[in-house]
Amino acid sequence: MCLQKRSESNVRNEEKIASAAPESQSGQQELSNEGALREFLSDSIRNAVAPAAIGVCVGLLSSGPRKSRNPIPRAFVFGVLGGVIGLGAGVAWESRSLVANAARRTSEEFTRMRDERWMKRNFIAYA
C-alpha cells in the first residue's frame, strides 16, 4: 500500500516537472515572439566573426610547411576547421546571457517546485 502511494506521488511530481519545462523557457519564447531572437542571433554571429578569423589563421598556421604532395588542400581543410571552431566559440560566448537566463529561470522553477513538495510532505500547522 505504501509503495503504491509513493509511486503515485512520484508520478504526480514528474508530471509537474514536465509541465514546468515550457514555463522555464518563457524568456526564449519572449524573444522569439517579438522577433528579437533572430536579431539576437544575427548580432551574435556578427560579433563572432573575429574569433572565426582567428580560428582560420590558427588553422592555416597549424597546417604548417610539411613535405607533402598537396599542402594546399591540407591548409584549406585546417583553415575551414579552425574557422568553424572559432565561429562556434564566438557564438557561444556572445549568447551566454541567453543561456544563463534560461538556466536561471529553470533553476528558480525547480526550486519552487521542490519547496512546494517539501511543504506538502512536512506540513506545519500554526494555530
pLDDT digit string (tens) for the chain, length 127 residues? 466 666 666 666 666 666 655 555 555 565 555 677 778 778 888 889 999 999 999 988 888 777 767 778 888 889 999 999 999 999 999 888 888 888 898 899 889 888 888 888 887 766 5
Q: What is the pLDDT of residue 38?
A: 77
Look at residue 88 in the predicted model and tell me its pLDDT.
Answer: 92
Residue 113 is predicted with a pLDDT of: 86
Q: What is the pLDDT of residue 86?
A: 93
CA distance 88 to 24: 25
C-alpha 125: how far from chain center:
42
**What's this model's pTM, rounded to 2 decimal places?**
0.58
- The owner of cell 551574435 is 44
> Could you give the CA distance from residue 96 to residue 40 in angstroms, rounded to a whole number?
11
Task: Residue 56: name the closest of 79, 74, 76 by CA.
Answer: 79
* HEC letters along the chain: CHHHHHHHHHHHHHHHHHHHHHHHCHHHHHHHHHCHHHHHHHHHHHHCHHHHHHHHHHHHHHHCCCCCCCHHHHHHHHHHHHHHHHHHHHHHHHCHHHHHHHHHHHHHHHHHHHHHHHHHHCCCCCC
Residue 84: what pLDDT? Answer: 94
Q: Look at residue 13 in the predicted model and tell me its pLDDT.
A: 62
